[in-house]
Structure 1
């Protein structure tokens, strides 16, 4: 794509002088971004999938366990997997954070490894995305092309790095960030100390450059709130600013940003004193949140016979206007089934059974959120909120807002099927 303004042209000119990734950086990525494994067969023969060396195990009777060992040939520390699988593939992303030409530069490298039993591992590395951020927060993205109508994690590697229109797919969450980071003085001044607090590098660095409220949250240790306000566009920090200041003055660090904001919303609903640390800084946030959720549910239930059904029908019409094009989205990995909630009554049932606020805080009327329910054999496991602006999982909550043993599996399953949402949005 041709540059549309002088800023983009300047980025292109500077990027031409950016050095290639070094061999030590590649070696670090290959070592730290991937699982290093050895295959053990039923006879106890172990094959190193890094160098292809084979030797006899002394633990052949431990057929179903995963052990650690060191390859006697290449000295790589390995996890032993007992499997019949012969070919192993893995794709990850490395981010190199550096400065160049007065810009903060985020360089994202697609790296993969192909391993086959009896052969040396083949590693591949290619830079696919660059994010150039100026000190005033203005930014440009350079990236390679993606295949048309392809939603898998693939790139056209022989295409050039060119200025591209902004898309959520360029906001990559890397597997690892190269430890030798260079950041602009302004970013250091604004409180960044190398930790991204489960945000993407672009989300963190761009936000603290452009929003002094985010800078304040970072410097005061309120990173859970910072993550919440970045990821949840429906939450306006100004709505909670006074309560946040009370937390800071009392040395209270919010442990869960999304839950705390929902809790404050509940306090506001019951007209509690939002200037009192007694309410604003609960010792057990989850317990207080759940208590007010139950209280609000009881309050709503008392009105349910008289007006709730009619009100639900009115909300149903608005809900269908907002979300009907997503109805029918469902996917499974064989054990976990995930589907979109398709009525206000389903939101009510989800919130009541899972003991959280997906119904009481009217998530069904939020235009930028899509809510899924994850079940196993018909039993609800977790409720998932996906941002329709970024297609990222904002939160996934089990009973009483806890994380279940299936939490990571559910998030990976949703991420693998984001194309279903994207297709409906484009329809």
Structure 2
């Protein structure tokens, strides 16, 4: 695509002056971004797939260190002789006053008895000026079943932002970074704290609130606010009070739910007495109880009418996701498919999935994790970032299956993503 304005013309011209990837960056990518294996034959002969060295391993183990090159290896008993791996990674640098995120594809080929070989190919670049304006210089994306369907040998040109480039931008970041003076001034030190660089960097360049949170070390709230569009506008007046009081929010998602319920009860969310409770969980549960009590006092006819209206809107919003279900053999995860199911989920686990109207939130999807039909935890997935926002068990507490449930959802996120498309 041809540059549409002077900014894109300047970016495209400057991109031609970028230096090639360094040897140190290549070595880091090979060591940190792919898996390293030792292939072991049933009788014990073991080969390092990195350097090709072979030795005898009498007793099988899960991990070992190559006696030749010192690489830490995962041991696999197999008769296979070859292995090919592909992994994207990113490098953060500067050029001509711009902040640049460069995206690369590492292709590593390994064969028994030979030293591993690798090649690196640049797929794209995100460019930002000091005012946060963004442009992308990249290879062309093509139609295909995979998100990274790129025409790798097409010319680097100005492209429109899309999910493929954003996906690659979230891949591992080389720890050696070069930052613009503006980003340094605004508190960025090169760590993204599991926040997409394509969200974090422009936010730090354009939004003083993101700068405040970064400099205060409030990276968890920053990640939460950036993962949900316009959330920071909604909670910032109340959140500033917690900053002034030095109040430590242990669970930002729970605190935001708590503030939402305070508003619905007509409480003053500009009062530190409410927004800085001594025990957040207890205060959340108490407000939740009051909210439920008020709801229960409403007239039954009004409730039925509201439920019918909500059901129609809910069906319109979430119908494309109905039928999604997956399991790992023990845990079953499925999408909640009616307002009544939200009510039953909230009553069973004593949390606010219904009272806080999660069924009407356009950019999130609620799933229920169960074992043998018994509800274990409720999961909220962002339909924008395709990440688990929160996962709550009985009374908003995590269960022993918490990490396993989140991992199961992430491994099956393509089911949800396909319905969005």
Matched, 1:412 2:415: no
- Within the candidate set 381, 392, 400, 2:386 is matched to 392
Separation in 1, partners of 2:318, 2:140: 31
Count of residues paired in the alignment: 416
TM-score of the aligned structures, taking structure 2 as reference length: 0.87
Change (3 A) 1:182 1:268: same
- Tell me which residue corresponds to 2:128: 133
Separation in 1, partners of 2:178, 2:405: 34
- Tell me which residue corresponds to 1:16: 16
What does the per-residue CA deviation read over 1:233-282, in whole Å, with 9 as the maximum and x for residues that have no partner? 152x2332332122112212323322211111122223344344343223
Q: Which moved more, 1:112-121 or 1:399-408?
A: 112-121
- Tell me which residue corresponds to 2:228: 232
On the 8 A contact 1:227/1:257 being kept in 2, the answer is no
Separation in 1, partners of 2:43, 2:256: 56
TM-score of the aligned structures, taking structure 1 as reference length: 0.86
On the 8 A contact 1:222/1:253 being kept in 2, the answer is no
Matched, 1:257 2:255: no
Query: 2:19 is paired with a residue of what secondary structure?
Result: coil
Query: 2:75 is paired with a residue of what secondary structure?
Result: strand
Q: Which moved more, 1:135-144 or 1:221-230?
A: 221-230
Structure 2, gaps ≥5 residues long: none
- Within the candidate set 95, 100, 103, 1:100 is matched to 95
Query: 2:52 is paired with a residue of what secondary structure?
Result: coil
Query: 1:107 is paired with a residue of what secondary structure?
Result: strand
Deviation at 1:27, TM superposition (A): 0.8
Query: 1:126 is paired with a residue of what secondary structure?
Result: strand
Query: 2:140 is paired with a residue of what secondary structure?
Result: coil
Deviation at 1:315, TM superposition (A): 0.4
Deviation at 1:417, TM superposition (A): 3.5
- Within the candidate set 195, 201, 204, 1:205 is matched to 201
Query: 1:179-328 residue pairs with structure 2 within 5 A?
Result: 179-233=175-229, 235=231, 237-301=232-296, 303=298, 307-328=302-323
- Tell me which residue corresponds to 2:46: 46
On the 8 A contact 2:263/2:269 being kept in 1, the answer is yes
Deviation at 1:214, TM superposition (A): 1.4
- Tell me which residue corresponds to 2:4: 4
Q: Which moved more, 1:273-282 or 1:10-19?
A: 273-282
Deviation at 1:357, TM superposition (A): 2.6
Change (3 A) 1:345 1:234: farther
On the 8 A contact 2:179/2:190 being kept in 1, the answer is no
Separation in 1, partners of 2:56, 2:367: 48
Deviation at 1:128, TM superposition (A): 1.4
Query: 1:310 is paired with a residue of what secondary structure?
Result: helix
On the 8 A contact 1:47/1:117 being kept in 2, the answer is yes
RMSD of the alignment, in Å? 2.8
On the 8 A contact 2:386/2:417 being kept in 1, the answer is no
Deviation at 1:80, TM superposition (A): 2.9
- Within the candidate set 346, 353, 356, 1:358 is matched to 353
- Within the candidate set 374, 378, 384, 1:383 is matched to 378
Separation in 1, partners of 2:136, 2:358: 33
On the 8 A contact 1:105/1:131 being kept in 2, the answer is yes
What does the per-residue CA deviation read over 1:276-297, in whole Å, with 9 as the maximum and x for residues that have no partner? 4343223443444344335534
Structure 1, gaps ≥5 residues long: none
Change (3 A) 1:158 1:384: farther
On the 8 A contact 2:147/2:163 being kept in 1, the answer is no
Deviation at 1:149, TM superposition (A): 3.3
Query: 1:417 is paired with a residue of what secondary structure?
Result: helix
Deviation at 1:134, TM superposition (A): 0.8
Q: Which moved more, 1:176-185 or 1:277-286?
A: 277-286
